[in-house]
Amino acid sequence: MTTTTSLTNHQVRLAARPVGMPTRDNWRFTDEPVPPLTDGDVLVKTLALSLDPAMRGWMNEGKSYIPPVGIDEVMRAGGVGVVIDSRNPQFPVGAHVSGSLGVQTHCLVPGADIRRAGLAPIDTRVGSLTQWLNVLGMPGMTGYFGLMDVGQPRAGETLVVSGAAGAVGQTVGQLAKILGLRAVGIAGGKAKCDWVVNELGFDACIDYKAGPIKDALRQACPNGVDIYFDNVGGEILDTVLTRINRKARIVICGAISQYNNTTPVKGPSNYMSLLVNRARMEGIVVFDYADRYPQAITEMAGYLREGRMKSKEDVVEGIDTFPETLLKLFNGENFGKLVLKVADA
Amino acid sequence: MTTTTSLTNHQVRLAARPVGMPTRDNWRFTDEPVPPLTDGDVLVKTLALSLDPAMRGWMNEGKSYIPPVGIDEVMRAGGVGVVIDSRNPQFPVGAHVSGSLGVQTHCLVPGADIRRAGLAPIDTRVGSLTQWLNVLGMPGMTGYFGLMDVGQPRAGETLVVSGAAGAVGQTVGQLAKILGLRAVGIAGGKAKCDWVVNELGFDACIDYKAGPIKDALRQACPNGVDIYFDNVGGEILDTVLTRINRKARIVICGAISQYNNTTPVKGPSNYMSLLVNRARMEGIVVFDYADRYPQAITEMAGYLREGRMKSKEDVVEGIDTFPETLLKLFNGENFGKLVLKVADA
């Protein structure tokens, strides 16, 4: 029998629902003792957390693909950690795991909740801890299934992806290149655009901060757009809709430009381009593909090993920086997948 | 050798592109002699023309699924007529035909343009002339392939269709009922709604003129919406998006509420419901299915014969009323498929 004592769990809880951009007042920090384990339980020490645009949606009330985080609940977050105590033979002490750990230093996963928390062992020989939050984690899976299943790519087609230097975007564009498509990114600032082209091997990357993207998009996509993988919504979605080809597929993965609106979401004015072009706009939620993660991870790990895929993370240290670090996503300040480092491995 | 002389063709030409709602000033009436026929030509006397919301789009400049009507060109229109002179053995004098006749009393189809004009014989024993412009014509084909191929209906699902008393809407709802779906219409005014339910057999019909449709939609669709066949766009599309089910299909067929806008089209603010519900929004252009019209017409004709499908037309007489009659579509004044009668059979 193992019992854990004298460990303190430091937590970030949702104190109030934000209006517009979240502020420090929306959060509350708490400390509580880690309770003793019972049979089946696993105690994970959080090493790093994935900060994702979707978190903004989880802070809102209302129906979505997942229930909102309740007021006073620990903020939901995917993460990686190490098992430091266990009453569960599937998760021995010392094992590295990923799962929905929450924004807290320790996560006690009850035996009955292992599956709900998505707790799964990770092999750090296959990828680093932060890669397991990026191309081998939720963003990678989102990009993989969003492109493969919803986008239905064919060699020779042109793919455009917004948020190209972000976690999902980097996966999508690199996968598209591997599959023989022309890959065009949209990102904010010259540094990101240069990296997307020079390091990730995209064919072009458009800097949306340099002005309206219309002309650059036309130049970068001389044969039009067959797949648009949208992470941002707003004006960029509307502009890409003017360039789509017959039977194009628009993958709706996110709309980060609209998440902190205090006015109604800007719907795509040019949606009738779907009719003109017999095109399709379709949503992706990664959780639907959970049964197929292992196969996709194996494939992505192969690309990593072969050097055909790169994985860039933007790591910020300290759980107490969470309120400000999260905002980097909405200000476009993150360069690569945004990771909050909570403890040393 | 047959030569036609002394026949005058009375025509309606596009004089100027409208801004907002078309006015009589956008049109010009012309008369010109019907030229002599050469080998392969067919001369059709127009009996009735199909007036469709899509005509508004054809009046605009810019890329669409079909080139715009040029200034001074005869306005494009589908219609039915009778062959009164022919140098083409496939279209003997006396035969009834349908095709892109244009808004004119006579249509001389050159032999080389038979296919482009979609000229095809019609059998008036199978359906009346006006039915050949409705459920057996373009609107019927649009409804058929939009529902079958894009909507992918399954028995037991709930379908919602806007413009339910219009040409496409009546086809879609009745087909859905035949296929075992729950069919809910949206139409303007009590008379149309009553007819949609009592005569066409829809399960419910919501009067959008009676106020916001939100509550009525919830009541009419207790199990949510699996297919939304959209003919109108605007607020109605946005409201239906709040009620769609997982894996719903939104068929984008038209957006009549937006066609006469002088401000930008209202994009669907709630399009992120596509993500939440892993749903799809996809455009339909009927011409893509031309190869399959014969099979669909046979099926629809069977339903007509068996009394399982009704076909209601709103017939207005006189080619010179065209400018005003067309507006009935945009004012919602037509009750059934809008037909312009040009001559007696």
* SS3 assignment, position B96: strand
Q: What is the pLDDT of residue A263?
A: 85
pLDDT band of residue B107 (cuts 50, 70, 90) is very high
How high is the ipTM of this complex? Answer: 0.91
CA A160-B285-B264 angle, to 5 degrees, is: 65
For residue A206, the distance in angstroms to the closest alpha carbon of chain B comes to: 24
Contact residues on chain A for B238, CB-CB shorter than 8 A: 267
CB contact under 8 Å between B254 and A238, yes or no, is no
Q: Are A119 and A91 in contact (CB under 8 A)?
A: yes
Q: What is the pLDDT of residue B3?
A: 53
Q: Confirm or reject CATH 3.90.180.10 for domain B8-134+313-341, answering yes or no.
A: yes
Q: What is the pLDDT of residue A5?
A: 57
CB contact under 8 Å between B283 and A276, yes or no, is yes
CB contact under 8 Å between B274 and A254, yes or no, is no
C-alpha of B120 from chain center: 18
Scanning B38-77 for CB atoms below 8 A from A yields 63-65
For the stretch A53-96, pLDDT in tens is 999 999 999 888 889 999 999 999 999 999 999 999 999 999 99
Beta-bridge partners for B43: B85, B108
How far apart CA A339 and CA B3 sit, in angstroms, is: 82
Q: Confirm or reject CATH 3.40.50.720 for domain A138-287, answering yes or no.
A: yes
What are the phi and psi torsion angles at B65 (to 5°)? -75, -5
CB contact under 8 Å between B265 and A270, yes or no, is yes
Scanning A284-313 for CB atoms below 8 A from B yields 284-285, 288
Residue intervals of chain B classified under CATH 3.90.180.10 are: 8-134+313-341
Q: What is the pLDDT of residue A345?
A: 78
Residue intervals of chain A classified under CATH 3.40.50.720 are: 138-287
- Pick from B265, B272, B282: CB nearest A272: B265
* SS3 assignment, position A84: strand
Searching chain B, which residue's CA lies closest to the CA of residue A283? B275
CB contact under 8 Å between A267 and B264, yes or no, is no
For residue B272, the distance in angstroms to the closest alpha carbon of chain A comes to: 8
Q: Are B266 and B230 in contact (CB under 8 A)?
A: no
For the stretch B193-211, pLDDT in tens is 999 999 999 999 999 999 9
Q: Is the pLDDT of residue B293 over 80?
A: yes
For the stretch B234-290, pLDDT in tens is 999 999 999 999 999 999 999 988 888 888 889 999 999 999 999 999 999 999 999
Q: Is the pLDDT of residue A2 over 70?
A: no
- Amino acid A115 reads R
CA A90-A93-A98 angle, to 5 degrees, is: 65
Choose between B217 and B265: higher pLDDT. Answer: B217
CB contact under 8 Å between A271 and B267, yes or no, is yes
pLDDT band of residue B5 (cuts 50, 70, 90) is low
Closest CA to A11 of A93, A65, A76, A98: A76
CB contact under 8 Å between B282 and A268, yes or no, is no
Q: What is the pLDDT of residue B260?
A: 86
CATH no., domain A8-134+312-341: 3.90.180.10
CB contact under 8 Å between B269 and A270, yes or no, is no
For residue B114, the distance in angstroms to the closest alpha carbon of chain A comes to: 24
Contact residues on chain A for B247, CB-CB shorter than 8 A: none
